[in-house]
Copies of this chain bind each other. A is one copy, B any other.
Amino acid sequence: MGNLYIGLLHFPMINRCGEIVATATTSVDVHDIARSACTYGVARYFVVTPLTTQQKIVWRIRGFWTEGEQVVEKSRRGEALELVFVAGDLKETTDWIREAEGVSPLLVATSARRQGKQCITCAKLKERLRNEKRPVYILFGTGWGMADELIDVCDVILPPIMVESDFNHLSVRAAVAIVLDRVVGER
């Protein structure tokens, strides 16, 4: 059985005008995705942004729940936030996983748009995680989605969540929850 990692990337992303930008981190992304990650047994949740001021904000959110007063509150929020780690770029996170696991993870892109890249279904990924030791690292984009150069470095891509729906604009928080449920959930 392999470990599952997830990453929320903020650069290089597409904005609504098609330009490549660094998007802003948001508090609700940190919390919601950490809680989903904790529920589904994810090993680490990386929040990846090149902006050092934003990195500090995410560390501070984490610290608020994992240290100091909040530890004594009647809440298990801190357990989820302990899964959060902040990194400057994708390489920093894949290096960390390779060091911890002794092998590079299978790098999985996600996109709400159809892509030419080699697809892997959630069912296949689930089977793979069960039967192989190699870790799996699923990347999620922000803004209007990952730039092609980011998708290109991934090994495979998951198909859009709702192929048949005309409206495919889930929040990244919803998308992460659904993908985790499909890949690890009890169905």
Contacts and interface: CB of A to CB of B under 8 A. Distances in A.
Q: How many copies of this chain are found per oligomer?
A: 2
Interface string A65-87: 00000000011110110000000
A75 B16 contact: yes
Contact of A174 (B16, B32, B182): B32
A: interface residue count bin: 35 or more
A162 to B, nearest CB: 5
A185 interface: yes
A39 interface: yes
Nearest to A185: B162
Contacts of A31: 171
Nearest to A79: B167
Contact of A39 (B28, B38, B162): B162
A35 interface: yes
B169 A35 contact: yes
A80 B167 contact: yes
A81 to B, nearest CB: 11
A186 B173 contact: no
Contact of A171 (B35, B74, B162): B35
A41 interface: yes
Q: Which 3 A-B pairs have the closest CB atoms?
A: A174-B177, A32-B171, A178-B181
Given A31-B171, A36-B174, A178-B178, 5 more contacts: A28-B28, A35-B170, A35-B174, A39-B162, A174-B174
